[in-house]
Each structure stands twice: as C-alpha cells, then as structure tokens.
Structure 1
C-alpha cells in the first residue's frame, strides 16, 4: 500500500476515478477488480461524514486500492482527519499560490517537513506497533500531496506552487478552470489549452506530477501523451449513468 506517490514521481501514469455519490464502501472492491490504481473520495462536492470516510478507507485497505481524499479546503482538520484515517494522500482544491501550497504541506507532513500532529496505532498504521522515528520519515515519503489548479491565477503561479517542497502533483480541474477563464466547459478552447500547458510545464520543470480529470478513455490517452500522470477518469455516478444508458439504448433498439 501507499505506492501512489512513488509511482507518480517515477513518471508512471496512475488511473483512478472520483467517488462522489456511492455510500457502500464495497465499491472499493469493484474499482480494484476493474483495475483502477486508486480512487478519489470526494469530500468537496460529495457529502461524506467523517465516519463514512473512515469506513471507505478501511475497506479500501482490504481491497488493495489506494484512496486519495479530496478535502473541502486547505484547513488543518480537513487534512489531518483523512490522513489519520488511512488515506494515501490528499487532493486540495483551489490552491492558487505558493502560500496556500505551503499550508497544505505544513498540515499534511510530520516534522521537520511540516507540523502534522502525531498519533499512532490508528488506521494509518493499521493499528500496529511502529517505530515512531522511522514511521514519521516513512509517512512523509509516502503521503501524496496533490493541489488543484482551477483558476487562471493558479496557472500563472504554477511554477511557484510546483517549487514548494512536499507538493507532489498539480492536478488540473478543467471544469472550474474553464469557467474561471470565461469559457465554461470549452475544454478544447485555445485559452484553456494554453493555460493547462503552463501547469504541465511547471510540473515538468520541477519534477512534479501533472494531473487531469477526463471523461473518456481517448481523452485519458491524449493527456498521458501530453505528460499527465495522475489521471482521474469520470466519476462513480457518471460511469453508472453512462454505462446504463448505453446498455438500455442497445437493448431497446
């Protein structure tokens, strides 16, 4: 477990999806069996309680699939609780500048990298006995910190954000980004593509992973060819809706 950060920083693509609506943690097994490398439990647009989040993380550990939790915002409790519950890492929305990125790292990493509070024998240690000194170093090495570029400001500051030690990935939120740029959901608009290029270049220049949300396998392949490494394909509800709609249309035809 907890190989996602290493994989991304080694330049290997990892394919996940967003879980936004499902309430049954057994979906972790479904996604693992399907071949996903990870899933993002959406605590920004989703409505998961801390207890439900904890259930998902426990089941995912048994299923052998890693979980990145998208927090509501860069805030101490929103970052600390998922990590203590066993998340492989975090996806932090609307990170627009170096200061916000530094705050994310500060809350997510143990000293000396950050100021994460120490508690052991919880889900993040599988309730086992660990050597504290060794564990803190290991946790810092394996915990993924991904920040989202969702505004023109974030793209303009992408080089500064990517240079922050402890930030592993800048993940583009294409819907919010296009909306912020005044071209809502026009994903192929030149202004959108030019802005995404800024983010991807900043990641490449700083040996950080670039991430992207996509809605089709074809788009996933295109962005991987452009340098994306953390790929989130669709969402749980979209996969169910799209798959069901296509099947029913064929049956009725």
Structure 2
C-alpha cells in the first residue's frame, strides 16, 4: 500500500500538527475564494444551510486550483473538503454521508452525536461493507457502492479508491475522516464509551452553540459552565489521543485555544481572515 495521502487533514493530524479550517456555504463564489485562502480544510455547512447536492458538487470542483495541483505534484487538494451533514445522530442520516462521499468528500462531520450507537452508525455509514472476520470489520460498513464521481475527483481508479476509502485511524492508510460533534451533556457523559467502543473516530468537534443553549447561557462561549464542559471534552479526548476541534477561533482567542490543546482550529471565512492569519503565525505556518 502506498503511503501517499490524498487527505491532507489526516496527514496533518497524524503528524501531531494543527489543522486550520473554516465553515462555508456550498456555493461556487465561496469555493473559489477558499481555494487560495491558506486554509487546510473547509467544512461545507449543510446542517443549517440547505442540503443542495448539486451546489456541493460544484463547490468541490471550484475548490480545486490547477496551479496548486501542478506545483504540489500531488493529487491531494490544498484545501480538503469536508461536509457537515444535516441530520442529528439519532436520525441516522446514512444517505447524506453516502451522497457526500460519493461526490468526493474526504470526511463527514456528524452533528449532535450523543450515544455509542449514534457514533457507531456514523463510522459505519462512511465504510464499505465487508464479511465478518475481515480485519478491522467493526464498525461493519454500510456505505453503498457508487464511487465514480469520487474517483474522478480524487484522480484515481476505482480499485485505488476502494483501498483508500476507509476511515482513519481505524485503517492506518484510510483517507476518510469521521468527525463527531459533541453538543450536549448526554454526549459528554457518553464520550469515554464512544471513544473506547467505536474505532474509526478521527476528530471530535465541540458544538458550543447548542451546548450553551442547553446550559441556559446561549452563545456565551466564555461562560464558566460552557468552559467546564469544553474542558471535560478536551481531557477525555487527550487521554485517548483524539484531536479536538474548536469552532470559533478568532485573532483574540487563538492563543488560548492553542494553549488549551485544540488541534482543529475553525475561524470565520471573512476576506481579511484575521483568525486564520493569527493562527498561522502562532503555529509557525507563516
């Protein structure tokens, strides 16, 4: 198996480094701007935006820069496209993951994961089926077979895609990232069991907006109750070597975010990119 990665987010996390990312609507203008932004990844936001599979397909294409591909000498896109799907964990949403992956997404962000079963479904939906007894069989794959658009986007054959389209770190050479959002007290209570019982989770992203709503302090991200919940998630994940994402990184808080131990840093995709530039400076990327 070749060691060449197509997913630069996984390469960066696997090396113990920081990923610089942002949320974006799925539209061509945003994708073109992001293609030369300096971000490592974009999470196309389809939980609170419409599920528009055609807009997502076009955004993937406009995110590619032919010059970047040529100069890098690699098929890996400079800005790795991930997708946050609409449905909460309890709603299963296997078809959303399947459609996004079939277009060429390199990972799925699953909102509102609160139980072991929801986490197991999230990972399983991103894997192709195999027979019992196959190495790394669990969580047993549920993804349907229709990779032709994805293989074109990745620039590889179907056979190569099948070899790479498994979830990391369960499959060491896998190029699919499964990110789970922990957004409530139930999710925090179950997080140790989720990480201990469900292999294949590559990222935990804190949903501090919904978390603050549940705590009765909506959007007060620095409220002590919110900070305590975030600290619990960080501690649980750090004990198990799982990267944690912060969804609201700014030029003002990025130093604290880094000091706290976050490794997937999401800042707002405004034209001046103040959060991104400060993060690049503090992580030694400039």
Q: CA deviation at 1:165?
A: 0.5
Q: Does the 8 Å CA contact 2:182/2:207 hold for their aligned counterparts?
A: yes
> Which of 41, 63, 67 in structure 1 is aligned with 2:81?
67
Q: Does the 8 Å CA contact 1:212/1:231 hold for their aligned counterparts?
A: yes
Match of residue 153 from structure 1: 186
Q: Residues 50 and 210 of structure 1: is their aligned pair in 2 closer, same or farther, counting only changes over 3 Å?
A: same
- Root-mean-square deviation over aligned CA pairs: 2.3
- For residues 95 and 124 of structure 1, the distance between their equivalents in structure 2, rounded to whole angstroms, comes to 29
Name the structure with the higher helix share. Answer: 1
- For residues 30 and 188 of structure 1, the distance between their equivalents in structure 2, rounded to whole angstroms, comes to 31
1:133-183 Cα offsets, whole Å, 9 max, x none, are x53231211101001011111112121222320111110011111111222
1:29-63 Cα offsets, whole Å, 9 max, x none, are 32232211111110101124111111111222346
Q: Does the 8 Å CA contact 1:43/1:70 hold for their aligned counterparts?
A: yes
Match of residue 54 from structure 1: 57
- For residues 172 and 218 of structure 1, the distance between their equivalents in structure 2, rounded to whole angstroms, comes to 19
> Which of 118, 122, 126 in structure 2 is aligned with 1:108?
126
- Normalising by structure 2, we get a TM-score of 0.76
SS in 2 for 1:217: coil
Aligned: 1:142 with 2:175: yes
Match of residue 250 from structure 1: none
Higher RCO structure, 1 or 2 (CA under 8 Å, sep 6+): 1
Match of residue 251 from structure 1: none
SS in 1 for 2:263: strand
SS in 2 for 1:12: coil
Q: Does the 8 Å CA contact 1:121/1:128 hold for their aligned counterparts?
A: no
SS in 2 for 1:228: coil
SS in 2 for 1:122: helix
> Which of 7, 16, 21 in structure 1 is aligned with 2:21?
16
Q: CA deviation at 1:129?
A: 5.8
- For residues 165 and 110 of structure 2, the distance between their equivalents in structure 1, rounded to whole angstroms, comes to 18
Q: CA deviation at 1:241?
A: 11
Match of residue 115 from structure 2: 97
Match of residue 197 from structure 1: 231
- Where do residues 100-249 of structure 1 align in structure 2 (5 Å cutoff)? 100-111=118-129, 112-113=137-138, 114-126=141-153, 130=157, 132=159, 134-140=160-166, 141-163=174-196, 164-234=198-268, 236=269, 239=270
Q: Does the 8 Å CA contact 1:170/1:211 hold for their aligned counterparts?
A: yes
- For residues 157 and 90 of structure 1, the distance between their equivalents in structure 2, rounded to whole angstroms, comes to 20
Q: Residues 223 and 128 of structure 1: is their aligned pair in 2 closer, same or farther, counting only changes over 3 Å?
A: closer
Q: Does the 8 Å CA contact 2:98/2:125 hold for their aligned counterparts?
A: yes
How many pairs were matched up?
237
- For residues 234 and 152 of structure 2, the distance between their equivalents in structure 1, rounded to whole angstroms, comes to 34
- For residues 154 and 175 of structure 2, the distance between their equivalents in structure 1, rounded to whole angstroms, comes to 18
- For residues 28 and 123 of structure 1, the distance between their equivalents in structure 2, rounded to whole angstroms, comes to 18
1:216-245 Cα offsets, whole Å, 9 max, x none, are 1232332122111111112x4xx26999xx
